[in-house]
């Protein structure tokens, strides 16, 4: 059984899903890979302690603070490659960005496209900062939750990017 709760954020309504042990995801309604394979019949619309901690983390983040993501237990999900990429994302400090190629070097993968695919399937929107990954061109690049959401998050963190 999974617990689901919604959180109204400055980028839109976020769907939070957790078990009794871990956070399974944070998705913007309508984004690519929404609820990542979790079936509706497995969900109960109520809170639990992990969802309460997630809401508190999001509140602090959207107020411009830099809460530690280490306080939230993340579910063990994804392929071994995805887990490597997502771990590398967690190492990007707030207020900084990395390119897909830089992430690839960290995990010993020469394919920026493979890295980009894994970044796009990150189930923990905002918490695991996939928005901090930019193309080497300096442009904003793609984002599973949409370009407007990515622009907002980068601006909130003071990260510069080519606006064209």
Task: Give the 3-state secondary structure of residue 4.
Answer: strand
Sign of CA dihedral 119, 127, 27, 134: negative
Q: Could you tell me the two tokens for 25?
A: 């995801």
Contacts (Cβ under 8 Å, ≥6 apart) of 53: 71, 72
- Of the candidates 130, 134, 144, 159, the residue annotated as catalytic is 130
Paired with 45 in beta bridges are 4
Q: How far apart are CA 98 and CA 136, in angstroms?
A: 9
- Residue 159 has phi, psi (to 5 degrees) of -90, 130
Residue 132, H or E segment: none
109 is catalytic: no
Q: Could you tell me the two tokens for 129?
A: 């900062």
Q: Could you tell me the two tokens for 78?
A: 């994804």
Catalytic residues: 130
């Amino acid at each position: 059984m999974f617990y689901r709760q919604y959180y109204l954020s400055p980028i839109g309504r976020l769907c939070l899903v957790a078990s009794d042990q871990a956070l399974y995801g944070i998705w913007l309604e309508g984004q690519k890979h929404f609820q990542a394979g979790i079936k509706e019949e497995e969900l109960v619309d109520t809170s639990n302690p992990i969802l309460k901690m997630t809401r508190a983390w999001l509140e602090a983040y959207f107020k411009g603070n830099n809460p530690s993501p280490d306080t939230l237990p993340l579910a063990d999900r994804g392929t071994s490659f995805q887990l490597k990429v997502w771990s590398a994302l967690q190492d990007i400090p707030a207020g900084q960005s990395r390119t897909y190629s830089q992430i690839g070097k960290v995990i010993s993968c020469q394919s920026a496209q493979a890295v980009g695919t894994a970044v796009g399937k990150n189930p923990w929107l905002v918490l695991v900062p996939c928005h901090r990954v930019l193309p080497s061109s300096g442009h904003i690049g793609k984002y599973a939750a949409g370009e407007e959401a990515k622009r907002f998050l980068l601006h909130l963190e003071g990260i510069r990017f080519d606006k064209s």
